[in-house]
Amino acid sequence: MQQPHRSPARRIGPYTVITRLDPTDPGASPVPEQRFIARSADGDRTSVVSVPLDNATSARFLVEAQASRCHLGPWFAPVTECADPGLPVWCARPYLPAVPLPTALAVHGGPFPDDTLRDLGARLAGTIAIAHASGLAYAGVSPASVLLAGDGPRLTCFGAVRTAAEDGQPRSGLPGLEPGSLPPEQAAGGRPRPPGDVYALGAVLAYAATGHTVPERDELPVMLRSLVPACLSRDPAARPRAIDVLQALSPDSPTSPVATVLDLEPEAHRMRLPGRVIAAIAQQSASVLAADVQRHPEADE
């Protein structure tokens, strides 16, 4: 993450940018939107503010941002603010000190241990299961969409696949979409459906366990050697359901996805994170708190 800087700074809606959330080096994991940590003009709110990658997707971006105001449990980061109609498009979520999964792996220096993988997978699977039980396809799960906070993950980038291109249009190679996380049927232009979310979840688990989204079976830890390949089946009908993934990772959990996710709320059970990742989250929090940005009476973007 870039270090916070002093004004003059970019303004987005009522917010002044403190820093980018995602790394910008050429080898960084693709991110389907530009994400910034920013402070409101009155200084009262710090948020994660997102803007589309290009103007061509702005209308679809705003539709998905509005849809992601829904509540999908404690491990989902809902949008709480959006740009007014007719103005440049942005959306915002309340800021929580957290680093993207690719950054966390880089800080840790390699794949996560089994305990962290189990905690991460159960929480993400539970969140996706709630979306599916609500009749939604998440269509935005990828390594970069997962932010790791001190108490567990937060899933972002809802609807990134739908934003990238309309159904029926090929999505392979489009900016911002991580190719290893993009289900083949959606890459070809198919409508996002729940089995695609399970494919993307398998890719995220593979990434957290090996550092890339398409590993060989023997690269995976034993606990994932059957589960991840099943999720990554090219046949959507052959993939497990999100609730099946959750129960494979948390076999003593209730059969209801809602009950399981509530059972794993931060107050009940904190996620087991490597020490270096916890330190990186704390460092980000301190840097943001210390950031000195000029207050603006109005926004110009």
Q: Does residue 123 lie in a domain region?
A: yes
Has this prediction a pTM greater than 0.85?
yes
Q: Does residue 297 lie in a domain region?
A: no
Q: Are residues 134 and 147 both part of a single domain?
A: yes
Q: Does residue 216 lie in a domain region?
A: yes
Series of mean pLDDT values for 10-residue runs along the chain (301 residues): 55 94 84 95 92 93 95 94 93 97 96 95 95 96 97 96 96 94 97 98 98 93 97 98 94 60 56 94 95 57 42
Q: Does residue 299 lie in a domain region?
A: no
Q: Does residue 4 lie in a domain region?
A: no
Q: Are residues 80 and 127 both part of a single domain?
A: no
Please give the span between the terminal C-alpha atoms of the chain, in angstroms, as a whole number: 23
Q: Are residues 231 and 272 both part of a single domain?
A: yes
What CATH number did the domain enclosing 186 receive? 1.10.510.10
Q: Does residue 1 lie in a domain region?
A: no
Based on the structure, what is the number of domains in the chain?
A: 2
pLDDT given at position 258? 55
97 neighbors 281 (Cβ within 8 angstroms): yes
pLDDT given at position 24? 82
Q: Are residues 268 and 185 both part of a single domain?
A: yes
Q: Are residues 88 and 115 both part of a single domain?
A: no
Strands 91-94, 98-100: pairing kind: unpaired
Q: Are residues 67 and 108 both part of a single domain?
A: no
pLDDT given at position 298? 47
Q: Residues near 16 by Cβ (< 8 Å), separated by ≥ 6? A: 7, 9, 10, 38, 39, 40, 41, 293, 294, 295, 296
Q: Are residues 68 and 144 both part of a single domain?
A: no
Q: Are residues 181 and 80 both part of a single domain?
A: no
- State which residues form the domain around 59: 11-96+282-290
